[in-house]
Structure 1
Amino acid sequence: MLQNLAHPGSSLSAAGTNQGVLAAAASGLEGFITQHGGDLDRVFGHAGIDPEQLRSPTLSLNLANYCQVMEEAARQTGCDNFGLHYGQQFKPQALGLLGYVGLCSGTLEEALVNFAEAFPLHQHHTLIELVDQGESYRFDYQVRQPGIDARRQDAELTLGMAANLMRHVLGQGWAPREVHFEHRRPADWQAHRELFDAPVHFGQACNSLMIAKQDLAGRMMPGRDPVLLMLVKDSLRQLSGLAGGPDLLAQASDALRHALHLGEPSLERVACQLRLGEATLQRRLREHGLCFSQLVEQVRRDLALRHLREQSLSISELAPLLGYSETSAFSRAFRRWFGVSPRQWRSVQG
């Protein structure tokens, strides 16, 4: 078991569990800061991170401190696009266990699915989804931890990592159809268009890569290894502290978000994914003042509002993504939640 080497005031989490982000996400960060003229002591000191925490990729960093160190590095190096450039040189192998979840998958499409499913074990309080949009997939990423408002550098870093996973198989000439960022357009925004080689839009609802499905067709991962993939996934689960940490509610919500498109979610399926017994999951949800059906409704409400605001899907397309077999069932549930139909809500908001 990992020992807790944190000194008082450091941001290392409890031994053997990840309640923030694994330190593999900062692989090579010290060298990159130095390369751009930054002072390591000032950058890490201001962000509240002990550089010793970066020595092991399986130790856990506080997510707020991690996002802050990226923002501070951008300020102190004078490189406004620090996260963008750091992400562009970030190879999948450097991500540690999460990187190998993708690299050991059978196909590139499976790699993206496995990467999205495993990401909550690598980093908590984060939305990450692979959304089917017909001829393309939308790869969404967004930090959801309250209080983390300055997160531009982290967003640009993460989409750069995702693009590099694609280019590991398709070559450096691969480009997404579009790139979306939630933050405002920076001064040097032309660099984003050049590095992604695609149209880039700012001020969007979420950070996203639009990936053409035809780019994935028949693409096998060169390092596919099903046995190693199973072992890597198991190691991530153990490090995440899934079976009882304070983030159980967030983990259960993430599991539901990934399962809804398969139909009506079951307690058995979610409990199995969290490696808990059904009775144990029910008891721990009660400790949060919820039963399983209430959590399902809460997740569905949040996803419904998000997709309706984006206006990228019709009501009939949205219903099955939320686990409803019929559009009418979704409309009835939405009216029960908000007193109006989905179409009425969208027309008022629009």
Structure 2
Amino acid sequence: MHPTPARRPAAATPAIGVLSSAATGLVDFIHDQGGDADRILGRAGLDPEALQHPTWSLSLGQYCAVFEEAAGQTQNDNFGLRYGAQFKPDGLGMLGYIGLCSATLGDALRNVVAMFPIHQQGSLLRLEEQGPWCRLDYQVQHGAIVRKRQDAELSLGMFTNLMRHALGQKWAPERVHFEHPRPLAWHEHCKVFDAPVFFDQPRNSLIFRRALLNQPMPGRDSRLLTLVMESMRLLAQPAREQDGNSIVCQVQTQIRSQLADGEPNLERVCHALELTSWTLQRRLGDDGLTFTQLVDSTRRELAEYYLSQANLPISDLALRLGYSEASAFSRAFRRWYGVSPKQWRGSH
């Protein structure tokens, strides 16, 4: 028999979520960094009670937002990086124990990848094995979540600590990749990972030697592994059409992936989603949107996010947002906010 889980409020089970264990020790860490945890959680919309139950689900959007809010309020731009660096694998709850109880490091990573969709939805975790190298990729793919730098840095820190549990605390990956622009205090990233760190990459990744996959895990326990994996499967919920699986979120994700190559193209999005142009436009219309409106709103959200990165030159933003000329970006920004990008950055 399995123990009956505690009853949780309906608000604690959003369609696109992450298990609360991913925020283990967050309140204390915020206090240690000089922040007001109640205020930060409140502004992000997170219920503090949910953090006390490691198998409850938090909204992934609110989870990402709480770290962005904490970085701003504590004036620690590397908040997520530091949180991830001190995060122990067992703090991840069932997902962490699945890694710790596996036979080898390779088994640990493969098992964690296999169970990750239960731990966190709307996201990618993938282990690529190519020749003598491996790459562990992580990416929040929920189309509505733009501000996710802190989450990326803390997540790679968590996965690094899982690998160091098998390889020793002095182990370091060969390279670390982040998809966001290079922050001001990027040298701290190199120190935390003890490796070269590259920014503006296709996704967030740890690159390391494939031979390390054979390293035995110190706490391997096949019986406990089976029990934890079975318990975690009981948490799996049927996928819901709304929220992260909605057509709007899927199109937003495709639009962002195309912006680096120029103007997003409806036909390319349709091809990626295996839909006809007519079907895609009809389904967007059901939500009161057009493809052009979605491109415009996606650019607007990204423009605000990029301008909040103080070290990112404004001259770079036009290309990042898929505009062929800086003047086109400036005109669009004035239409959105009534001021120039430079004026907006100065006032924020």
Where on the TM-score scale, by shorter chain, does this alignment land: which range?
0.5 to 0.7
Structure 1 residue aligned with 2:233, among 217, 224, 237?
237
Q: Which residue of 1 aligns with 2:130?
A: 133
For 1:200 and 1:184, how far apart are their aligned partners in 2? 12
Q: 1:40 to 1:62 in 2, by over 3 A?
A: same
1:95 equivalenced with 2:92 (yes/no): yes
Q: Residues 131 and 247 of structure 1: is their aligned pair in 2 closer, same or farther, counting only changes over 3 Å?
A: farther
Distance across 1 between alignment mates of 2:241 and 2:102: 27
Note the 1:1-350 alignment, pairs <5 A: 1-6=4-9, 11-13=11-13, 19-217=16-214, 219-241=215-237, 244-246=238-240
Q: Show CA shifts across 1:169-197 (max 9, x none).
A: 11111000100000000000000001101
Shift of 1:237: 1.4
2: distance between equivalents of 1:247 and 1:194? 42
For structure 2, the residue ranges without an aligned partner over 5 or more in a row are 262-270, 276-348
Is the CA contact 2:16–2:243 (under 8 Å) kept in the aligned structure 1? Answer: no
* Cα distance change, pair 159–193 in 1 and its aligned pair in 2 (3 A): same
Q: Report the AA paired with residue 229 of structure 1.
A: L
- Cα distance in 1 between the residues matched to 2:232 and 2:140: 19
Structure 1, unmatched stretches of 5+, are 252-287, 290-297, 310-332, 338-350
Counterpart of 1:284 in structure 2 is: none
What letter is aligned with 2:240?
P
Distance of 1:193 and 1:245 partners within structure 2 = 38
In 1, distance between residues paired with 2:112 and 2:9? 29
Partner of 2:311: none
C-alpha deviation, 1:2, in angstroms: 3.5
Mapped to 2, the partners of 1:199 and 1:135 lie a distance apart of 19
* Distance in structure 2 (CA, Å) of the matches to 1:193 and 1:200: 6
The one-letter code matched in structure 1 to 2:168 is G
Q: Structure 1 residues 179, 60: closer, same or farther in 2, change over 3 A?
A: same
Q: CA deviation at 1:117?
A: 1.1
SS of match in other structure, 2:139 = strand
In structure 2, what is the Cα distance between the partners aligned to 1:248 and 1:231?
Answer: 31
TM-score, with normalisation over the residues of structure 1?
0.67
Question: 1:19·1:247 contact (CA, 8 Å) conserved in 2?
Answer: no
Structure 1 counterpart of 2:12, which letter? L
Preserved CA contact (<8 Å) 2:164 2:170: yes
Instruction: Note the aligned Cα RMSD (angstroms).
Output: 2.9
Deviation at residue 53 of structure 1 after TM alignment: 0.5
Runs of 4+ in 1 over 3 A off after TM superposition: 1-7, 247-251
CA distance in 1, matches of 2:104, 2:242: 31
Q: TM-score, normalised by structure 2?
A: 0.68
Percent sequence identity over aligned pairs: 50
Kindly indicate whether the alpha-carbon contact (under 8 Å) linking 1:98 and 1:122 is maintained by their aligned counterparts in 2.
yes
Distance 1:98 1:5 in 2: 20
Paired AA for residue 70 in structure 2: A
2:8–2:56 contact (8 Å) kept in structure 1: no
Shift of the 247–137 alpha-carbon distance from structure 1 to 2, 3 Å rule, reads farther
Change (3 A) 1:189 1:55: same
| Matched residue, 2:325 | none
- Equivalent position SS for 2:228: helix
